[in-house]
Every structure is written in C-alpha cells, then in structure tokens.
C-alpha cells in the first residue's frame, strides 16, 4: 500500500471535503473525483483527510477507515496523506492512529481532546501525544487552537510536548493571534529538528505566510488549492507583488467562507464546489444544515470576484 517514507509535514496541504448522498451516506464516486481534482494541482506536498473539512466528527471509525482507503486508492501513489486523529480520549486516539498507520497514512493531524475545554495541564497534553506516539512512528501534527477555547496549548506546554514527543514534527496553527503565531514560527521552526508551522489562518493567509511559515494546511484548499499554492510559492520566492495579486483573488472567498458561524465554513466550500461544477450536490450531516439561498448567492458573487466563475456562468446557473 502506498506510503511516502520519511515525509515531514511542510508546504501546501489542502484538506479535502467529503461529499454525501441525499440519504447522508458517503458519496464515494464524487469523493474520488474530488480527490483527483485537488491532487492535480501543482505545488502540493500532501492532502489531508478525516479532518474538520471532511466532517470527521460525524463519521464513524469504520467510515474514517473507508475514507482513508479511498484516498489511498485514488491519490496515495502521488501524494502523502495526512490522516486526522479526532478523539476525546487518548486510548481511542491511539486506536485511530494505529488504523491510519496500517492504512498507509504518511502523517497524523492530532486534534485537541474536547475535555481540555474544562482545563488542561502540560502533563495531560504530553500524555495524550505520548499515547498516540506509542501506537505509531508516523510524524505528528498538533492542531493548535486559540487559547481562549481551552483546547489551545500554551507556549510552555507546546515546548514540553516537543521535548517529550520527538515525532511531533509540525503544528497546524490556528492560534488566531498574530504575536503568538509569530512566536510559534520563530521558536518552533528554529528547533533541531524543526517543528514546522503550517498556517491555517486562511482568513488572513497572506499576512500569516509573510511571517515565515513553512507550510499551510487549509480546508479552503478543497476549492482554491491552486491559488493557495501560488500564494505560498510567491511568498517563499519573496515576490510580494505577485503574492498581493493572488491574495486579491483569495480575499473575497476568505470573506465568505470564514464568516460567522465558523461551523459552516466547509458547508460553504461544498456549495462553492457545486457552483463550480465540481460536485453534484452540497449535502452536510447534522447538526450542520444547508445554508440559505442568500448565502449561496454571496458565495457565487465571491467566485465571480475571484475570477473562478464567469459572470455569464453565474447568471446561467442562478
């Protein structure tokens, strides 16, 4: 089964969406096409599955295993696959890690356990990552939430996990705070070996990348992986004029995708893919519900402004 040995998370890593049928089953045919569409983009380093973007909280263990198997079948020979670890308990997290390792994943994205909203200690965080690392030697990515959620890791905790769990090789940074984000970039990427900062500040991606992130991991890559790749590589080349032009195209979509409530961000991305003719339907699993016609029209307008949908196509589809 395909596996990309010694992969260290870096670069442009879109997180794909998971299409469903009208009866809320996984739409395997549409998922395979979506994987092929995203993987065809130049300049990617991996693709993420079983994460927020695939509505992992609404998927069973067996469905997550099936999602990984489909991804391996379609794109595993071309790109490394990052598999999300979504679990409130460390033992279940380790079980998912073993499944992902056996299924050929090349890295694991570790979501913070929900109980941390009630308070956490550095010992708890270390133990959670240690349990996962004990189940697999795959490189781990810590999903860094805003500190206000209770699920974000304070600086000292994050550094302690880096010291105690050497397979932690990156963070998906959603701290939401510019000064904290820059601290992560400076302190983590200067470690030996480096712990890469993968920005998921997709609502202000240009600003984030300029701080020096070694990558980005974003659900909006399910729609605009090409623009995100172009932006990342322009910033890396220090071509800020080109980066600004690309960011001007991303901005209208970031504005609609990342409006309140944030829980609907991937719901909106599914609607964008339907408008672009890349998905047959935009079905989400409860508790998510279909967004309003007015909001879909705002997404259509943003796609036109971004140059992804012609005015004529927008009128014909309306």
Tens digit of each residue's pLDDT (9 = 90 or more) over 180-228 = 999 999 999 999 999 999 999 999 999 999 999 999 999 999 999 999 9
Asked, for residue 318, whether it belongs to a domain, the answer is no
247 belongs to a structural domain: no
Q: Is residue 28 part of a domain?
A: yes
Residue 281: both structure tokens together? 């339907």
Domain that holds residue 172: 11-237
Average pLDDT over the chain, rounded to an integer: 96
pLDDT in tens, 275-311: 999 999 999 999 999 999 999 999 999 999 999 998 7
> 10 Å Cβ neighbour count for 271?
26
Could you tell me if residue 27 is inside a domain?
yes
Within a domain: 315: no
CATH code, 147: 3.20.20.70
Residue partners of 36: CB distance under 8 A and separation at least 6: 74, 75
Total domain count for the chain?
1
The 47-49 sheet, strands edge to edge: 11-14, 215-218, 196-199, 168-173, 140-144, 107-110, 81-85, 47-49
The answer on pLDDT for 3 being more than 80 is no
Residue 314 confidence (pLDDT) above 80: no
Residue 43 lies inside a defined structural domain of this protein: yes
Query: Does 273 reside within a domain?
Result: no
pTM of the predicted model, to two decimals?
Answer: 0.96
- Cβ atoms of 136 and 108 closer than 8 Å: yes
Asked whether residue 284 is domain-assigned, the answer is: no
């Amino acid at each position: 089964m395909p596996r990309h040995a010694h992969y260290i998370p870096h670069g442009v890593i879109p997180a794909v969406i998971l299409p469903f049928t009208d009866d809320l089953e996984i739409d395997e045919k549409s998922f395979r096409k979506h994987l092929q569409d995203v993987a065809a983009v130049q300049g990617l380093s991996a693709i993420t599955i079983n994460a927020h973007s695939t509505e992992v909280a609404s998927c069973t263990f067996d469905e997550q295993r099936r999602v990984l198997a489909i991804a391996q079948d379609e794109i595993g020979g071309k790109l490394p696959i990052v598999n999300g670890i979504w679990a409130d308990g460390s033992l279940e997290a380790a079980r998912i890690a073993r499944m992902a390792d056996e299924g050929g994943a090349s890295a694991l994205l570790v979501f913070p356990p929900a109980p941390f909203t009630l308070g956490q200690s550095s010992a708890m965080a270390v133990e959670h990552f240690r349990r996962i690392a004990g189940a697999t030697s795959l490189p781990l990515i810590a999903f860094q939430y805003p500190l206000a959620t209770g699920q974000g890791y304070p600086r000292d905790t994050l550094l302690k996990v880096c010291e105690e769990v050497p397979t932690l090789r990156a963070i998906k940074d959603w701290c939401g705070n510019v000064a904290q984000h820059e601290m992560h970039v400076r302190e983590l990427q200067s470690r030996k070996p480096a712990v890469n900062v993968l920005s998921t500040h997709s609502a202000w991606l240009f600003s984030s990348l300029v701080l020096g992130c070694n990558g980005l991991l974003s659900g909006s890559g399910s729609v605009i992986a090409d623009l995100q790749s172009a932006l990342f590589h322009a910033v890396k080349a220090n071509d800020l004029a080109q980066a600004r032009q690309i960011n001007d195209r991303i901005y209208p979509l970031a504005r609609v995708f990342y409006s309140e409530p944030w829980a609907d961000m991937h719901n909106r991305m599914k609607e964008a893919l339907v408008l672009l003719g890349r998905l047959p339907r935009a079905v989400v699993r409860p508790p998510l519900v279909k967004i309003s016609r007015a909001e879909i029209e705002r997404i259509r307008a943003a796609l036109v402004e971004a140059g992804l949908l012609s005015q004529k196509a927008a009128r014909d589809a309306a």
